[in-house]
Amino acid sequence: MELIAGYEPKELHDLDNRIAELKKAKLPTAIIKDLAETRIRIELPDSKYFAYVAFCSLFEITEFQADSIKLINLLADADAYGASGMLVWIPSQKSLGSYDTEHESLTIFRGITWKKFF
């Protein structure tokens, strides 16, 4: 990975540059502060669905569109499930949510702040 990074533009690996990009994409400062340069893995021993979830590092966060709505993906891994879309920030709603890629449905977590969630 470091070999590949050596050939990429330095801006791609600059933390301050990445934070500025995420702010421009309307990801809240609180989320940016809590996520890190490396993945954060949280064990879920009481969950019957997941043993763990891993949040994206700041460099792994991606944007995608669903029915012309911009979504920002926050999870990198969710045990044995595909994590893409499982936890997203929806800039237009200023809310967390989940996008089911198989059924193409978006759930908005109204009233659930990042502080309550994390």
Q: 88-90 and 69-73: which strand pairing?
A: antiparallel
Place 10 in a pLDDT band, splitting at 50, 70 and 90. low
Can you give the pTM of this predicted structure? 0.85
State the residue range of the domain holding 13.
Answer: 2-117
Residue 37's pLDDT is: 80
What is the pLDDT averaged over residues 14-19?
A: 94
Give the integer Cα–Cα distance in Å for 104 and 84: 12
What is the pLDDT averaged over residues 31-51?
A: 91
Domain count, the chain: 1
Residue 3's pLDDT is: 56
CB contact set of 40 (below 8 Å; sequence gap of 6+) = 34, 54, 55
Task: Report the amino acid identity of residue 49.
Answer: Y
